[in-house]
A and B are shown apart, each in its own frame.
Chain A
Amino acid sequence: MPEITLIEALRQAMDEEMERDERVFITGEDVGRRGGVFRATQGLYDKYGPDRVIDSPLAELSIVAIGIGAAMVGMRPICEIQFADYIFPAFNQIVNEAALIYYRTGGDWNVPMVIRAPYGGGIGGGLYHSQSVEAFFAHRPGLKIVVPSNPYDAKGLLKSAVRDPNPVMVFEPKKGYRLIKGEVPPGEYTVPIGPAAVTREGTDVTVYAYGMMHYYVLQAAEMVAQRDGISCQVVDLRTLVPLDTKTVLESFKKTGKALIVYEDNRFLGYGAEIAALLSDEAFEYMDGPIRRLTGPDRPGVPFAHTMQDFYMPNPDTIADAIRDLAAY
Chain B
Amino acid sequence: MATPNKETLLDWYHQMVLIRRFEERCAELYQQGLIGGFLHLYIGQEATGVGAIAALKEHDHVITAYRDHGIALARGLDPKRVMAEMLGKVDGVSGGKGGSMHLADRERRFWGGYGIVGGHLPLAAGIALASKYEDRGEVVLCLMGDGATNIGYFHESLNLSAVWELPVVWLIENNQYGMGTSVARASGVTELVKKARAYGDNGRGMKEGPRIDGMNVLEVYEQVSEAVEYARKHGPILVESLTYRLQGHSMGDPERYRTKEEVEQYVASGPIGRFRAYLIEKYKNIEPKLDEIDARALEEVDEAVEFAKNSPDPTFEDLVRHVYVD
| B157, closest chain A residue (CB) | A62
A92 and B119 contacting across the interface, CB-CB below 8 Å: yes
Q: Is the CB of A61 within 8 A of B133?
A: no
> How many contacting A-B pairs (Cβ < 8 A)?
126
CB < 8 Å neighbour of A68 from B94, B95, B123, B156: B123
The answer to whether A93 touches B323 (Cβ under 8 A) is no
B284 an interface residue at 8 Å Cβ cutoff?
no
Confirm or deny: A186 has a beta carbon within 8 angstroms of a beta carbon on chain B: no
B153 — nearest CB in chain A belongs to which residue?
A61
Contacting pair A69 B324 (CB below 8 A): no
* B119 & A62 in contact (Cβ 8 Å cutoff): no
Residues of B near A92 (CB, < 8 A) are 116, 119
List chain A residues, Cβ under 8 A from B116. 92, 96
Q: Are A142 and B325 in contact (CB under 8 A)?
A: no
**Is A102 a contact of B325 with CB atoms below 8 Å?**
yes
Question: What residues on A are CB-neighbors of B210 within 8 Å?
Answer: none
Contact B123 A69, beta carbon cutoff 8 Å: yes
Q: Is A70 an interface residue (CB 8 A)?
A: yes
Does B321 sit at the interface, judged by CB under 8 A?
yes
Asked if A257 lies at the interface with its beta carbon under 8 angstroms from chain B, I say: no
Q: A residues 178-224 with Cβ under 8 Å of B?
A: none
Q: Are B123 and A72 in contact (CB under 8 A)?
A: yes
Distance of A65 Cα from B125 Cα, bound (Å): 8
Which of A36-73 touch B at CB < 8 Å?
51, 54, 56-57, 59, 61-62, 64-73
In chain A between 79 and 102, which residues have their CB closer than 8 angstroms to a CB of chain B?
89, 92-93, 96-97, 102
Which partner residue on chain A sits nearest B323 by CB separation? A141
B127 on interface, CB distance cutoff 8 Å: yes
B105 surroundings in chain A (CB, below 8 A): 108
Q: Within the assembled complex, what's the spacing in Å between the Cα atoms of A72 and B23?
A: 29
Q: How far is A25 from B126 in the complex, measured between Cα atoms in Å?
A: 12
Q: Which residues of B contact A77 (CB under 8 A)?
A: 126
Please tell me if the beta carbons of A57 and B127 are within 8 angstroms of each other in the complex.
Answer: no
Q: Is A75 an interface residue (CB 8 A)?
A: yes
A72 to B325, CA, bound (A): 13
B159 contacts which chain A residues (CB < 8 A)? 57, 59
Interface residues of A in 217-263 (CB under 8 A from B): 242
Please give the distance in Å from B300's CB to the nearest CB on chain A. Answer: 23
Interface size on A, residues (CB 8 A): 42
Q: Are the CB atoms of A69 and B325 closer together than 8 Å?
A: no
| One of B42-50, B96-104, B217-225 contacting the partner | B96-104
Q: Chain A residues with Cβ under 8 A from B106's Cβ?
A: 105, 108-109
Given A92-B116, A106-B97, answer yes or no on A56-B126 (Cβ-Cβ < 8 Å). Answer: no
A107 within 8 A of B: yes
**B:106-138 near A, CB below 8 Å:** 106, 111-112, 114, 116, 119, 121-131, 133
Chain A residues whose CB sits within 8 angstroms of the CB of B124 once the complex forms: 69
Majority secondary structure of chain A interface residues (helix, strand, loop or mixed) = mixed
Nearest-neighbor residue (CB-CB) of A107 within chain B: B322
Query: CA A61 – CA B128 in complex, angstroms?
Result: 16
Specify which of A93, A96, A104, A106 is in contact with B122 (CB 8 Å cutoff). Answer: A93
Cβ of A265 within 8 Å of any chain B Cβ, yes or no, is no
Chain B: how many interface residues by the 8 Å CB criterion? 42
Known A-B contacts A65-B126, A66-B160; the reply to A104 vs B323 at CB < 8 A is no
Query: In whole angstroms, what is the CA distance A66 to B132 when docked?
Result: 12
Q: How far is the CB of A140 from chain B (nearest CB, A)?
A: 10
CB pair B125 A104 closer than 8 Å = no
Query: B325 to A165, Cβ gap below 8 A?
Result: yes
A57-B156, A106-B322 given; A51·B133 CB < 8 A: yes
A56 touching B160 by the CB < 8 A rule? yes
Return chain B residues, CB-CB under 8 Å to A107.
95, 321-322, 325
Smallest CB gap from B109: residue in A: A73
Contacting residue for B133 out of A25, A102, A141, CB 8 A: A25
Shortest Cβ distance from A106 into B: residue? B95
Q: Is B179 an interface residue (CB 8 A)?
A: no
Q: Which of B300-316 contact A (CB under 8 A)?
A: none
Is the CB–CB distance between B133 and A75 below 8 Å?
Answer: yes
A166 at the interface (CB under 8 A from B): yes
B residues less than 8 Å from A160 (CB atoms): none
B207 within 8 A of A: no
Q: Is residue B61 contacting chain A, with contact meaning CB distance below 8 A?
A: yes
B152 to chain A, nearest CB (A): 7
Does any Cβ of A come within 8 Å of B163's Cβ? yes
Contacts of A109 in B (CB 8 A): 106
* A144 is an interface residue with CB less than 8 A from chain B: yes
- The closest CB in chain B to the CB of A67 belongs to B126
> Which residue of A62, A67, A69, A75 is within 8 Å of B156 (Cβ)?
A62
Closest to B164 in A: A54
What B residues does A242 contact at CB under 8 A?
324
Chain A residues with Cβ below 8 Å from B119 are: 65, 92-93, 96-97
7 more A-B residue pairs beyond the given contacts A65-B157, A72-B123, A107-B322, with a C-beta to C-beta distance below 8 A: A64-B122, A65-B153, A66-B122, A74-B130, A97-B123, A104-B104, A106-B322
5 contacts across the A-B interface (CB closer than 8 A): A61-B156, A70-B129, A92-B116, A92-B119, A104-B112
Of all A-B residue pairs in the complex, the 10 with the closest CB atoms, nearest first, are: A69-B126, A65-B122, A106-B95, A165-B325, A69-B123, A66-B126, A106-B94, A107-B322, A70-B130, A70-B126
